[in-house]
Amino acid sequence: MKKWAFVSDFDGTISDRDYYDLILENHYNEGEQLYKQWKKGEMKDIEFLREVFKNINEDEENIIDEIRTLPIDEYSMDFIKKVQQNGGDFYILSAGTDYYIDHLLDHYGIEDVKVFSNEGYYENQGIHLNLDESHPHYHDRYGIDKSKVIQDLQNEYETVHFIGDSEPDTHPAQHADIVFAKKALQEMLREKNVDFVPVKTFKEVEDYLRKEGYVV
């Protein structure tokens, strides 16, 4: 069994804003009504994202260029390398799509990071999702069951750390060994009586891991 893994949500955790928010602002203003329906619980998360992602209406080159402008936690990429340098494996676990995550990692020269997410591909001036309902990690609401991913990783590692920022992250947080919470996830976990370390940045996460002896 390997020693430790660090698993991170992407949107709002590594990135400072959700990718769908960038699309709504720059390409798909009509999606604001969908956003309201989703927040009222009238749409599943994956239904909302599917509709938004496919309505970018841009050539792929322009989409990729914009993905590279997505604001991120300025220390997140250095943090990934720090984990890897100290014998940990880094994973990204996202209910978005691997399409924009892979392009962003490539832009920053990040290697050897496995992305657990909904498979995405470019077609007809948008990003489309390829969901496999037979996959063991499939989830009807999110596309991917983050809890199952964490539980599977716990069969491979002595310790699994997790960080997230919003409602979908409440589920894997209940299974990880050490949880770091940003933004709204903090109050959500308090309400569920789930232990967590409150943080704002990946630099704070690294400081905690250093005190615990995971990184030097």
How do residues 171-210 score in pLDDT, each as one tens digit? 999 999 999 999 999 999 999 999 999 999 999 999 999 9
The side-by-side arrangement of strands in the sheet containing 157-164 is 126-130, 114-123, 89-97, 2-8, 157-164, 178-181, 197-198
Would you list the DSSP string of 92-155? Answer: EEEEEEHHHHHHHHHHTT--S-EEEEEEEEEETTEEEEE--TTSTTEETTTEE-HHHHHHHHTT
Q: What is the CATH number of domain 2-15+73-120+134-211?
A: 3.40.50.1000
pLDDT band of residue 152 (cuts 50, 70, 90) is: very high
Q: What is the pLDDT of residue 29?
A: 92
How do residues 39-98 score in pLDDT, each as one tens digit? 999 999 999 999 999 999 999 999 999 999 999 999 999 999 999 999 999 999 999 999
> What are the domain boundaries of the chain?
2-15+73-120+134-211, 19-67
pLDDT band of residue 139 (cuts 50, 70, 90) is: very high
Handedness of CA 13, 66, 80, 90 (dihedral sign): positive
Which residue has 């709204």 as its token pair? Answer: 184
Q: Tell me the C-alpha distance between 163 and 176, whole Å.
A: 9
> Residues of 101-137 as b/e, b for ≥16 C-beta within 10 angstroms?
bbbbbeeeebeebebbbbbbebeeebbebeeeeeeeb
pTM over 0.85: yes
Nearest residue to 126 (alpha-carbon basis) of 17, 27, 44, 35: 27
Average confidence (pLDDT) over 15-41: 96
